[in-house]
Homo-oligomer: A and B are copies of this chain.
Amino acid sequence: MNFQYLLELIGTFFFAVSGALAIQDKEGDWFSAGFTGFITAIGGGSLRDVLLGSYPLAWVADINFLYSILAGVIVAIIFFRVIIRLRKTFLLFDTLGISFFTILGVEKAISLGVQPEIAAIMGMFTAVMGGVMRDTLTNELPVIFRKEIYATACLMGAILYLILDLHTPLERNYNLIISISVIILIRLFSVKFKLALPGFNR
């Protein structure tokens, strides 16, 4: 429980770093970096909770999320030359973040009593919609429309988690580790081997 809470704060921190960096090519100032960092970090979870009518939102109820975001934005501003160079490290952190938040989002949705198919979508939304909002606000084509497998990996991991949860006696913690690992593997393999789903104009 405490360990999971710590992971949530760390995940929020990394989302904020990635959001703040989104402004690097724009004319954005420190405020812009904070704003995109904030939206990226809280967007997905907030959308899920608003769609499910689950109040209060996590970051409204618990001020620690805000401080995680603030720390992420400050780190991004101070160390951005270093972070930019560490593209591979960054990919890894982003992948850790989306995989973890996907499964947390699925669990939250299930706990609110929705059907598994809806929970899978909510899990994926939790992971990727903050980034989608960030890209929409900065006039970029959202990350989910770009080439490699991204949100699809989240959706696959969410479905796997739900199948293992509902149809096997596997304990929750093992299921968590397996599902998160599968998302990470799909994502990293698809980047390494430039895998993509079939295009629409085959």
Contacts and interface: CB of A to CB of B under 8 A. Distances in A.
User: In the assembly, how many copies of this chain are there?
Assistant: 3
Interface string A146-165: 11010110010000000000
A38 B50 CA distance: 17
A31 B142 contact: no
A4 interface: no
A6 B53 CA distance: 26
A141 B139 contact: yes
Interface of A: 20, 23-24, 26-33, 35, 38, 46, 50-53, 55-57, 59-60, 63, 66, 77, 80, 114-115, 117-118, 121, 132, 136-142, 144-147, 149, 151-152, 155, 196-201
Given A23-B200, A53-B56, A139-B140, 10 more contacts: A31-B144, A31-B152, A32-B145, A46-B51, A56-B114, A66-B121, A80-B200, A137-B145, A138-B145, A139-B139
